[in-house]
Structure 1
Amino acid sequence: MEENKVRQEKNTEIEMKKEYLKGYEKVRRQMERSELRIREMRLNRICPSVINDGMPHASNQADLSGYAALLDQEEKRYMRYRYLRVRKCKEITDRIEQLANEDEKDVLMYRYIRLMKWEDICVKIGHSWQHTHRIHAKALNNFKM
């Protein structure tokens, strides 16, 4: 009974470590979305959507200051969050680098930082699928959060 509880706690800890490491990918995706949003805002200002109804339309330059303020606000928010996200990415990679075993470092970096598939990781480190997964399990056990 006690052995099952210990095993369950260990599995929960491993899952928490995996989620922590997956945080790197989440942060990268958040940064990409923010960059895309700013790029779209700039592009929409340069190339506003065209109304093809055959009627002449005046271009409205009056809202330029409002647009500039909105863009500035979005860029400041992006920079603030980018700083926090870059710090989070650095924290994750630094913790991976603290591992003593180079194979363990490689497997975690390839899997969670470079987002490689297991087959590609096996080829890259020159080990079988099974041995690569054993290295991954040992790396998660040795990884400190």
Structure 2
Amino acid sequence: MTGEERKAKVHWLMRYRIAENRIERMKAEQERWRQRATSITQRPTYFQYRGKSDQEKMTKEERRRNAMAPVIIRGGRGLSMEDIVAEIEALDHDIQDMVDRALQLRRDIGQAIKALADDREQLVLYYKYCDGLYLEEICVKMGYSYQHLCRIHNRALISLKMSNDE
């Protein structure tokens, strides 16, 4: 197996972990939007009374007696609650699409790994590319030396047949 073939197989196997990382980033962004929603304050509302003349200043007493309703003027700029909710919903939709894609990737990768004859090779690839463990962690789990695990991993990559859907 050439270096390019090995690189292509590793990249093909890593697609699931990459999708998982994207999902986590999108969930973190969605949480930041939720925090914005809980920390947002209403834009200040100012009441402006119209009366005798717009230029004249009215006393508090005159405002109380004023028969006309105040004109409400919204102040401030920024995101409204509707904007934040729309962004959260859009992210939720994107996350669901990414989860569906990740599940399909995991099925494809799982089928390719199950096609391997050696159970140890299957387990190493599952641990590394589906569970996201480092080779050192897999050594501890399986009770092999690092060099022996690298040999198993390399044999598994050589034996692996990628599906042609990418």
TM-score, with normalisation over the residues of structure 1? 0.76
Q: Say which structure is richer in strand.
A: 2
Q: TM-score, normalised by structure 2?
A: 0.67
Unmatched segments (≥5 aa) in structure 2 = 46-75
Structure 1, gaps ≥5 residues long: 1-6, 51-56
| Match of residue 70, structure 1, among 55, 80, 87 | 87
2:127 pairs, out of 96, 102, 110, with 110
Distance 2:141 2:95 in 1: 35
Q: Which residue of 2 aligns with 1:4?
A: none
Deviation string, structure 1 residues 28-85 (Cα, Å, up to 9, x no partner): 110001111111111210123x8xxxxxx7388x922333223222222222222112
Give the Cα–Cα distance (whole angstroms) in 1 for the partners of residues 104 and 37 of structure 2: 32
Post-superposition Cα deviations, 1:119-141, rounded to whole Å, max 9, x if no partner, equal 22222222222221111111001
What CA RMSD, in Å, does the superposition of the two structures yield over aligned residues? 2.3
Structure 1 range deviating more: 62-71 or 73-82: 62-71
When Rg is computed on C-alpha atoms for both structures, the one with the higher figure is: 2
Moved over 3 A (4+): none
Match of 2:6 among 14, 19, 27: 14
Partner of 1:53: none
1:25 shift after superposition: 1.7
User: Between the two proteins, what is the percent identity of the paired residues?
Assistant: 26
Q: Which has a greater percent of helix?
A: 1
What is the number of residues matched between the two proteins? 129
Q: Partners of 1:129 and 1:74 in 2: how far apart?
A: 41
Look up the match of 1:28.
20
1:13 CA drift (Å): 1.0
CA distance in 1, matches of 2:84, 2:134: 43
**Is 1:120 the counterpart of 2:112 in the alignment?**
no
